[in-house]
Structure formats: structure tokens, C-alpha cells
Structure 1
Amino acid sequence: MNRLKDATSPYLLQHADNPVDWFPWGEEAFAEARRRDVPILLSVGYAACHWCHVMAHESFEDRQTAELMNERFVNVKVDREERPDVDAVYMEATQALTGQGGWPMTVFMTPEGHPFYCGTYFPRTRFQGLLNAISGAWEGQREKLVEQGQQIVAALGGEQAGPQGPGPTETALVQAVQVLGRSFDEKYGGFGTAPKFPPSMVLEFLLRQGDPAGMAARTLEAMARGGIYDQLGGGFARYSVDERWIVPHFEKMLYDNAQLARVYAHWWRKGGAPLARRIALETCDWMLRELGTAEGGLASALDADSEGVEGKFYVWTPEQLAEVLGEEDAARAARAFKVTLEGTFEHGSSTLQLEGDLPEDLRDRLLEARASRVRPARDDKVVAAWNGLAMAALAECGALLDRPDLVEAAERIADLIEELHVVEGRLLRTSRDGVAGSNAGVLEDYADVAEGLLALHAVTGRPEYVKRAGVLLDAVLAHFGDGQGGFYDTADDAEALFRRPKDPTDNVTPSGQSGAAGALLTYAALTGSQEHRDAALAALGAVAPLAAKHARFVGWGLAVASAALHGPLEIAIVGSPDDPAARALHRTALMTTSPGAVVTIGHGDEIPLLAGREPVNGEPAAYVCRDFACRMPVTTPAELGAELMATS
């Protein structure tokens, strides 16, 4: 086994028995490259990545290829989910040099870490040729390669100012909805063409801001009925390779499902759609069943492949349906789930899509039969940021949809992060099997964990969640600020790379900057902290310039801006969460659709929004406020509902 044998990352452990003499990222690898005077070959991927597996089987498990790599390079393997900072800076170089990116990412660089040749997946024969060519150039044209690396670093390593202006106005948000409308797929839902990724953050913005064209509801229904959703077991795949949501890239990621569960719950809250409720709950149940860890956290992902074949676990043929259900019920299932003789996937198999109502009896029988198949592998590391997103989703779905067990699951995540990931007020990004990793948290970890803690406070009223969020947000202000109102993605005391990453645009998760803005805004509404509110509004300065042309890529920033422009509304329920009258008021508050509304329940001074608010004639009372200025208290759900309608 190579140097990866002691790694905590499941992705690195997948490569621990390669004949390649892999190094983990670190000074040892760079020192070895300097000692041997050879280039570094950096390979970046993640455990659920299909093409990462393909390149591993073709090249990294091939002894001849490994001998070339070992003889002529120092080889470094990185899990992009453990080290998003390393991934970000070298992906920027890859995209700058090739015009595209993806994983596995393959980077050749000097012993100083300067990239001079980049790519993604290479078939074995081409990869071997590339190894020979790069090695020959290093021997014969080294000055040219070193100069090229220096030029790339100079071009990318400057100050990353990014667009910054005043926070978005209401007019800017209305225009953003119009920009989204121009790329909306009227026929199939979603935005743009294939491949289509679940646009969770954009949908959240549309639900908050107002969506006269119904883009959110149409997209949410199309995804829920499509092959991108696991119609038997629940949970969404990472993206659809086609514009119709039929054929997914089958890997299933925690971060997608956490965000989607939350947005489906918010869709249900908006209009009561039964489909929205079912998908939200099934997605939460899938996360806990398939990704739950013994320590109370949630694992990162399920692989796309099983038995070396992408999607094999999930797809069906008519013959397979008949084997399980018999001819008559198989015909009914084929109609319900759109399984055809020609197939919608490979080799005559079909993904399952939903036509009409869900036939639960058939679903249950097929799910039981599918359990005997070889399951996809699981990446069981716990990522702080993604568990923060899941914490928020489980807390809100549990409270809104009457599933207290989901709230309890969110609290277990909070406890795990506090016990294992928080060290002297700072976050570690990952853990596995109850052992914390060594990698420092990045901005999205702090932001998303704080978001989850504040969502947990809203549904439980427990003051400690606000205090924990405050510790993390104070670390954001102390260590991540750029001095211009924005934030870097890494702390000021993090490992220095050739560029300090900073990206205000959303990717598959909210950008660290917009995530921080949202958590800061909520924290300020609970505590009255002007410092935190000012920081949130300053961070939103990047949103309007980007949204004018690229609204799809700042969805969470737009959602936070919508909340900021509406206050956000602050709702203080004075009373014990154990009091039925207080609970009734609390539920009414949680059901408000006012953008980003902030809710607290309890009594006393621990939460400043509750301080000085009193019951009315000894009865629990609700105060509806903005900037701590409150309307007259009310004592019944009907009165509170009227107040919320009047102020939203």
C-alpha cells in the first residue's frame, strides 16, 4: 500500500492499494519533488465520481502506467471535498488553460506548486503519451515550463476583487426574476439546456420573491416526477444528462438532497401541494436511512456505480418488473414508471419516472426486491458544511411537516459538530468514524453550520444554538473578511496557496459569501447586532452586479437579499415550547412565507429578541417586529396570522 493508507478520506483510501506511489497533499510531497527535481502530478477527484473511477481502473491500477508516474513525477492525490481550496485554485487554472473543467482533474506543476499543464480525464493510452511528453519537456524545455507556470500564477494570483456594489434593490430582484425567465425551459422546467442540475438556490429565491410565471413549481414537479429522483427509495441524483430530467448522473450527494428537502418543504408551505410534502419527507428519510452515521452525522454521498456499472442499482427492464411483480402488475408498473421495451437508459433498461399518482403497493414491492441488488458504495466522511445544510432541512421539515424525529436528527448533527468539529471556536471540515480530520474549515463550513444552528433554534427555541452560531460567525468576521465588504473562502491563517480563493457565485452549494450573509442576517435579527447586519449587507454587494446577467449563479445571494429587503420579519413567541398555546403561536409563525422570517420562542433575556417581551394577561404572546421595533402583541394564532399577512 502507498502513503494514502492512513488517510481518513474514503476517496484517498480507494487509491491506497494503487501501484502509484501517491502522496497526500502536503509539504512532504513538495519537498520530495524538489529533492528529486521532478514535476508534481496532481490528481483531484471525489469518491462518488464516475469518471474518477474510470481513470483509476484504466491508469492508476495499471502497473505500466504507474511505473511511468512513479519514475518521472511525484504524484499527489486530493479529495476535492476535503480540500475545496486546493480544488478551487487548480480548477481555475484548468478552466483558464482548457476552457473547461471537471473531475478527475489532472494538473502538472512545478515543485513550487505552479501549474503549467492541466486537463481532466485522459484515457490510458493518451495519458501515457502525455506522461512521456511532459517528462521529456521537463528534461529538455524546463525553463519554458517554469516560465509558463509563473505566468499562470501571475495571471490568476492577483487580488480577486470581483464585482461589488450596493446591496440589491427591489427593482434589481424583480429584474433577476426576468433574467431567470429568459433561460427557463417552458417545456420541461429548469434553466438552460442539458446537463441540468437541480437549481435549489434559485428556486428558494423564486419562492421568497414571487414567481408569477410559476417557474419554481413547474421545475419542482418536473424533477420530482423525473428519473433524477429515485421513485422507489427517495433522494435526488446529482444532475440530469438530458433536458427532460430522465437520465441522471446517478451519484447521490448529501448537499443536493439537503437543499432540495428544504425547498420542497417551503413549496409545500407556500401552497400545500401534496407532492411537495411527500418529496420533502422522502428525501429526509432517504438522507437518514442511506447516509446516517453511527455518530449522528450524515455521510457525503452514494456512488454512481455498482458492480462497476453506472446506474445498475436503479434501472429496470420490463422483464425485471415481471420477475418481481408478475405480468399484470408489471404492466401497471411499466405505465406508472414509464418503463419501455426500448428503454430510456442503456441496454434496454429504463430509469423510473412517475406518471400520475404514485402506486405505493408496487413501489414497496420493487423497493424490497431492489434491496437484494449490489448497492453503490458510500463515501462516509462527514463534511461540516453539508451537515449544516442538512441540519437546516431536517429541522424545518420536521417542524413544518409534524415529524419531531427529524428535528431530533438535526439536533444529533449539531451535537456531533460541536463535539468533534469545533475546536477553540474554529471548525474542522471533515470527520470519519468519530475521528476529526486535520483540514481547516472553509467559509462555507462556518456559514452553513451557522445557518443550520439558527434554523434549529427557530424550531426548538434552545438558546445554545444561537450562541454556537455566534461563535462561528465571529470567527468569520475575524478571519475571512477581505477588507472590502466581501469574504475570502479560506481563513487568514489557512495554508497559503498560490492564490487565496474567493468566489461569490453559487456552485452546487451556496457560495461561502452568500451563505455567510444569510447566517449573519438571521443572527443580527435575533440579537440586534448592528455589526453582523452591516457585514451581511456588505457581503450582498456582489449580488446585484452578478444577477444582472447571471442570476442563475447567485440564487442564494438573491434569496438572502429578498429577506434583507423585507426586514427580515422578526417573530418572538413569548412562552414555553411545552405550552400548547405557545406551540400553536409558534407553528403559525413557522408557517409564514415572509422571506427569511426569523422566529424565536421562549422567555427571558438569553435571546435579545425576547428580552423585555412579556406574556399578555399571563398568556403566551406573539410579537411581530422589524429591527426590534414591534407591533402590539397578539395571543391567538388567528390574530398572529392576520399580523403576518399585514406585515409580509
Structure 2
Amino acid sequence: MNRLKDSTSPYLLQHADNPVDWFPWGEEAFEEARRRDVPILLSVGYAACHWCHVFSHESFEDVETARMMNALFVNVKVDREERPDVDAVYMEATQALTGQGGWPMTVFMTAEGHPFYCGTYFPRPRFQALLNAVAKAWEEQRGELVEQGQQVVAALGGQESALVGPAPDEAALDEAVVSLEQGFDAVNAGFGGAPKFPPSMVLEFLLRRGDPGGMAAATLEAMARGGMYDQLGGGFARYSVDAGWVVPHFEKMLYDNALLARVYAHWWRKDGSPLARRIALETCDWMVRELGTPEGGFASAMDADSEGVEGRFYAWTPAQLAEVLGEEDGRRAAGLLNVTEEGTFEHGASTLQLLSGELPEELRAALFAARAERVWPARDDKVVAAWNGLAIAALAECGALFGRPDLVEAAERAAGLLERLHVVGGRILRTSRDGAAGRNAGVLEDYANVAEGLIALHGVTGRAEYVTRAGVLLDAVLAHFGDGQGGFYDTADDAEALFQRPKDPTDNATPSGRFAAAGALLSYAALTGSQEHRDAALGALGPVSVLAGKHARFAGWGLAVAAAALRGPLEVAVVGPLDDERTKALHRTALMSVSPGTVVTVGQGEEIPLLAGRGLVAGAPAAYVCRDFACRMPVTTPAELARELQN
């Protein structure tokens, strides 16, 4: 066992018995590189990454390759999900030097942390040749390598001001819609070509704009009916390798499913689509069933591979369907699920697609039970604060909208775990595992997404403590992450210093920390009346104006937050006893609002400023519809409230 044996990261533990003498990220590794006068080889990946597994099996488990690595370098292994800051700065360097990026990421750098050669996956013969070439260059051309590393650091350090702009207005949002229309795939739905990732944040923005052109509805239906969605167990894979949503990259991530469950719920809230309701609930049930941890949180991911083969757990042949269901029902299921003799995946197997109609429950249940007997993909069971925040928001809203109190309870359990393990002295630790907190400091997305989840949970439960806890986290954002120009860094001012301080305003698979912070700050301001938090939210939206025209796909969450800011957002205070059926009816009507970013509070008392001073009407529960704390006359019936919300 090497130095990774005591790690709390499942990804690092996968490499603990490699013959490579791995170091975890830390000063010990850099000091060893200085002592030995050799470069550092940094390898970054994550537990559910298919090509990370391939690289490991080919090279890191190979004795000869490991011997070369140990003799020539100090080798450092990083879980990108534990250390998104390390991943971010070296991914930027990788993209700058190679024009592309991905995982596994391979970086050769000096003992000062300056990268001079980068890449991703290398087949073993090429990797061995690269090891020798870099080591030879280090001996014979070290000055040039060191200078190149310094130049990379200097070049990357001077790019901060490129996305400075004013707060977006309606014209900018209209411009973004036009940009999205130009990139929309009118045949398959979604945006761009292969590979296709679920554009969760863009879809949220489009729904908040009324879904112009039906782009959101078309994409949501295509994803739900394609092979990227698990037609038997629920939940979405990370992306589709093709443009038609047929073959996924089979790993299933908590963050994707949390974001998508919420978007499907919002689609249902807008259009009443039965498909949207089913997908939202099945996705929530999948998160609880397959990612829930004994401590109450949610694990990070399910692997793409089982028995060393990507997708084996999920793919079917017609013969396998017939074996489970019998010949007649097997043919019926094959027709419904587009399982062909030729196969749509590999080795004659097919992914499951439900291109029209619905799969009868008795067929789904039989196939689901049979599949459960297969060898399951591994689970990355670390709990990431940011992604649990996204899950809390989704579960709380879906539970309230669809009458599933068990989902709200799951959200509350996760919020309780974060409070117990992750929040210490008003600061967040990014990960935990098996009930033990990790050592890594939270980054901006952790603070922002957890605050977002807590505010959503308050809107559903009325518990004031969730707003208080969100406020503590957002105050930490203002105190420790600000850049002095209206934006935010991704790491705190007291975090470990890397060769540059990461600051990426654009969305990736999850909302950017900056835009996530803007959304949580805006909602908190709507509940509390805090001008400081509202001003900070608006200041953080500056890049949206720059990105809206040509790069709207990378600013989806910022566009969604801007849509809410331009409409207020709407604030709804439902005043009355929580156990009164009249209060519950008003509260449910408030939660059905489709006005962008509507913020809801419910209960009685002075703890939540939006509720303060607003009382019952003639002894009956009442709802107040407000903007910037200026409220219209209160109403006492759901029908009256619905009219107020529509107006």
C-alpha cells in the first residue's frame, strides 16, 4: 500500500495498492520533489471516470511503468471532486497548452507547481515513451522547461478582466435566446453536436423566459426518452456520446440528477406534462435509493463500468429480454425500448430508449428486478457539500410539488448531515465519508449551493433556521470570496495558495460558483430585505452581459438568475399556522408560481423579515405578493392568489 491508503477519497483508495509510490496533494510531495531534484507528475481524475480506470489498469498497475514513474518523478494523485481548485488551475493550463482537456488529466510540473507539459490519457507504450522524454528534457533542457512553466503561469494569471460587464438587462436575455436558437439541434433537440451534455442551467433559463420556441420542452423530452435516461431505474447518465441521445457515457452523477430533477419539476409546473412529473419523481427516487448514505447525505456517483466493462449493467439484447419476460413480452419490450438484433451500443447490445408511449409497469418491474441480479457498478460514496446542496433543493421542491413528504424528509436529513459534519464555525468542509469530515476547505460552489438548498428547504417547510444557516454561509461568501470588482473567486482568501487563484465565471456541468452565489444571494435578499446581499448578487452577474450573445450556453444559471432579478424576483409570504389546511392550500398555490425565481416563505412570526408585520386577515390565513418588500393587498383564497401570481 502506498501513501493513499489513509485517504477518505474512494478515487484515491482505488490507487492505494498501485506499485506507483503515489503522494496525495500536499507540501510533502513538493518537498520531496525539491529534495530529489525531479519534476512532479500530477494525475487528476475521479472515481466514476471510465478512462481513468483504463489508464490505471494499463499503466499505474503495471510494475514496469510504475518503476519508471517512481525513479523519474514524484507522483501525485488528486481526486478532482475533492480538490476542484487544483483541478481547475491545472485544467486551464492543460487546455491552454493542448487546446483540449479531460480526465484523466496528466500534468508534468516543477516543484514550484508550474506546469510545463500536459495531456490526458496516454496508452501505455506512449506513456512510457513520454516519461523517458520528459525526464531526458529535465536533465538536458531544464532551463527551457522551467521558463515554459513560468510563462504558462504568467499568461494564465493575466486573463481575469475578460468577462467584466454591466448587470444584464432584458435586451441581453433576448440576445441569449437568439444565441441559443442558433445552436439548437432542431432534429434531435439539445444544443450543438456530439457529445451532448444535459444543458440543465440553460433549460432553467428558457423555462423562466416562457420556453421560446419550445426548445426546453423538446430537449427535456428527448433526454427523457433517449438512452441517457435509465428507463428501468430512473436517473440520468453524465452525457450522450452521440447527437441523438442514444448511447450514454454511463456514469451517473449526483449533480446532474439533482439539477435535472428540479428542471423537470419546473417543466411540469409550467406545462403539466405527465412525462415531466414521472421523470422528476423517478430521478428523485433514484437519488434516494441508490445514492443515499446511512448518515443521511448523498453519494457522489455511480461508476460507468461493471465487471470492467462500460455499460454492461445497463445494456440489453433481445435474447436477454426474452429470457426475463418470455418470448411474447420480450418482443413487446424490445419494440418499446428500441432493442434490436444489431444493437445500438456494443457487441450486439442496446441501450434502452422509450421513443414513444410508456413502458408498462409490470415489464419495467420485471426487468428492473432481473437487472438487480447483475454485477453492480461501483459507487463513489463520498458526500460533496455543493452537490448535496443541489439535491436538497431538488428533493424539497419535488416533494412539495408532487405531494411526497418522504422526499422533503430526505432533503432535511441531508441538510442535517451538512450542518453536523461539514459546517464548522460558519465555514464549510467540502467532503465527508462514512460520517467523518474530510480535510479540504469548501469552495465557492459549496457555500452557494448549500445556501440555495437551505433557502429552497425553507420555502417548503417554513423553518426559519434554514434561512439563518444560509445567511451565515452567504456572509462567509461576502467576507472571503469577493474579488473587489463585484465578482468572486472560487476559493477563499485563506485557502491554500496555488499558482493562481481560480476564478471561472462560466457554467460547466454545474452552475459556476459565481452564478450560484448570485442566485442564493438574490433569494436571501428577497426573504430578508438585505440590500447588501442584493447588490452583491447583481454585481456578480456582470459576465452574463458579455456571454449572452455568443456563449449563452456557458451562462445558463447566470441568465436564469438575471431573469429572476429583472422580475424582482416575486416574493410570496403565506401567513398562517402551518397545520391549518387553509395555510397549506395557499402555500401550495404559491409554490406553483412560474414567475422567475419566486421566493416563498410560510408561517407566522418575526424571524423571517418577509413575514414580519404581515398578519392574518379577519382571522384567516393570508398570502402577500410582494416585490422589494412592497406588497399588494393580501388575499385569502388559492384562486385569488393564483390571479395575483399570474398578474
Q: TM over 0.5, yes or no? A: yes
CA distance in 1, matches of 2:632, 2:154: 56
User: Hey, which bits of structure 1, 4+ residues long, moved more than 3 A?
Assistant: none
Q: Give the secondary structure class of the aligned counterpart of 1:419.
A: helix
CA distance in 1, matches of 2:404, 2:540: 35
Match of 1:373 in 2: 374
CA distance in 1, matches of 2:202, 2:501: 27
CA distance in 2, matches of 1:606, 1:585: 20
CA distance in 1, matches of 2:96, 2:636: 60
Match of 1:236 in 2: 236
CA distance in 2, matches of 1:157, 1:563: 33
Which range moved further: 352-361 or 456-465? Answer: 352-361
Match of 2:29 in 1: 29
The letter for the 1-side match of 2:87 is: D
CA distance in 1, matches of 2:495, 2:348: 51
The letter for the 2-side match of 1:522 is: S
The letter for the 2-side match of 1:487 is: F
Q: Give the secondary structure class of the aligned counterpart of 1:93.
A: helix
Match of 2:585 in 1: 584
Match of 1:288 in 2: 288
Match of 1:631 in 2: 632
Answer yes or no: is the 8 Å Cα contact 1:389–1:449 preserved in 2. Answer: yes
CA distance in 2, matches of 1:162, 1:574: 46
Match of 2:406 in 1: 405
The letter for the 2-side match of 1:374 is: V
CA distance in 1, matches of 2:252, 2:643: 42
Q: How much has 1:576 moved relative to structure 2?
A: 1.5
> Which aligned pairs between 1:141-220 and structure 2 lie closer than 5 A?
141-158=141-158, 160-220=160-220
Match of 1:608 in 2: 609
Match of 1:393 in 2: 394
CA distance in 2, matches of 1:477, 1:10: 33
CA distance in 1, matches of 2:548, 2:271: 27
Q: Give the secondary structure class of the aligned counterpart of 2:549.
A: helix
Q: Give the secondary structure class of the aligned counterpart of 1:88.
A: helix
Q: State the TM-score, normalizing by the size of structure 2.
A: 0.99
CA distance in 1, matches of 2:189, 2:148: 44
* 1:197-245 per-position Cα deviation (integer Å, ceiling 9, x unaligned): 0000000000001223100000000000000000000000000000010
Answer yes or no: is the 8 Å Cα contact 1:49–1:251 preserved in 2. Answer: yes
> Which aligned pairs between 1:366-515 and structure 2 lie closer than 5 A?
366-515=367-516
Match of 1:645 in 2: 646
* 1:490-515 per-position Cα deviation (integer Å, ceiling 9, x unaligned): 00000000000001100000000000
CA distance in 2, matches of 1:276, 1:242: 23
Tell me the C-alpha RMSD between the 2 structures.
0.6
Match of 2:529 in 1: 528
Q: Give the secondary structure class of the aligned counterpart of 2:572.
A: strand
For structure 1, the 5+ residue unaligned runs are none
Match of 2:596 in 1: 595
1:517 maps to 2:518: yes
Match of 1:38 in 2: 38
Q: Give the secondary structure class of the aligned counterpart of 1:47.
A: coil
Q: How much has 1:166 moved relative to structure 2?
A: 1.5
> Which aligned pairs between 1:334-345 and structure 2 lie closer than 5 A?
334-345=334-345
Matched residue pairs, number? 646
1:14 maps to 2:51: no
Answer yes or no: is the 8 Å Cα contact 1:158–1:499 preserved in 2. Answer: no
Q: How much has 1:167 moved relative to structure 2?
A: 1.1
1:571 maps to 2:572: yes
Q: How much has 1:57 moved relative to structure 2?
A: 0.2
* 1:106-130 per-position Cα deviation (integer Å, ceiling 9, x unaligned): 0000111110000000000000000
Q: State the TM-score, normalizing by the size of structure 1.
A: 0.99
CA distance in 2, matches of 1:525, 1:318: 55
* 1:425-474 per-position Cα deviation (integer Å, ceiling 9, x unaligned): 00000000000000000000000000000000000000000000000000
Q: Give the secondary structure class of the aligned counterpart of 2:190.
A: coil
CA distance in 2, matches of 1:399, 1:174: 32
Q: Give the secondary structure class of the aligned counterpart of 1:391.
A: helix
Q: How much has 1:161 moved relative to structure 2?
A: 2.4
Match of 2:58 in 1: 58
CA distance in 2, matches of 1:621, 1:149: 64
The letter for the 2-side match of 1:393 is: A
Q: Give the secondary structure class of the aligned counterpart of 1:381.
A: strand
Answer yes or no: is the 8 Å Cα contact 2:206–2:212 preserved in 1. Answer: no
> Which aligned pairs between 1:234-383 and structure 2 lie closer than 5 A?
234-355=234-355, 356-383=357-384
CA distance in 1, matches of 2:332, 2:454: 45
Q: How much has 1:159 moved relative to structure 2?
A: 5.8
CA distance in 1, matches of 2:31, 2:20: 18
Which range moved further: 166-175 or 480-489? Answer: 166-175
CA distance in 1, matches of 2:149, 2:644: 61
Q: Give the secondary structure class of the aligned counterpart of 1:572.
A: strand
Q: Give the secondary structure class of the aligned counterpart of 1:162.
A: helix
For structure 2, the 5+ residue unaligned runs are none
CA distance in 2, matches of 1:159, 1:201: 25
User: How many percent of aligned residue pairs carry the same amino acid?
Assistant: 80
CA distance in 2, matches of 1:109, 1:175: 42
CA distance in 2, matches of 1:365, 1:117: 51
* 1:608-644 per-position Cα deviation (integer Å, ceiling 9, x unaligned): 0000001001100000000000000000001111111
The letter for the 2-side match of 1:499 is: Q
CA distance in 2, matches of 1:41, 1:591: 52
CA distance in 1, matches of 2:231, 2:31: 51
CA distance in 2, matches of 1:442, 1:211: 32
Q: Give the secondary structure class of the aligned counterpart of 1:243.
A: coil
Answer yes or no: is the 8 Å Cα contact 2:252–2:303 preserved in 1. Answer: yes
Q: How much has 1:165 moved relative to structure 2?
A: 1.6
Match of 1:622 in 2: 623
CA distance in 1, matches of 2:159, 2:593: 42
Q: How much has 1:284 moved relative to structure 2?
A: 0.2
Match of 1:107 in 2: 107
Match of 2:118 in 1: 118
Q: Give the secondary structure class of the aligned counterpart of 1:588.
A: helix
Q: How much has 1:93 moved relative to structure 2?
A: 0.5
Q: Give the secondary structure class of the aligned counterpart of 2:162.
A: coil
CA distance in 2, matches of 1:211, 1:291: 31
The letter for the 2-side match of 1:333 is: A
* 1:545-572 per-position Cα deviation (integer Å, ceiling 9, x unaligned): 1111100000000000000000000000
Q: How much has 1:158 moved relative to structure 2?
A: 3.0
* 1:319-368 per-position Cα deviation (integer Å, ceiling 9, x unaligned): 11111111100000000000000000000000000032222211110001
Q: How much has 1:541 moved relative to structure 2?
A: 1.0
Q: Give the secondary structure class of the aligned counterpart of 2:194.
A: coil
> Which aligned pairs between 1:63-74 and structure 2 lie closer than 5 A?
63-74=63-74
CA distance in 1, matches of 2:518, 2:250: 32
* 1:520-541 per-position Cα deviation (integer Å, ceiling 9, x unaligned): 0000000000000000000011
Which range moved further: 168-177 or 483-492? Answer: 168-177
The letter for the 1-side match of 2:468 is: K
CA distance in 2, matches of 1:472, 1:432: 22
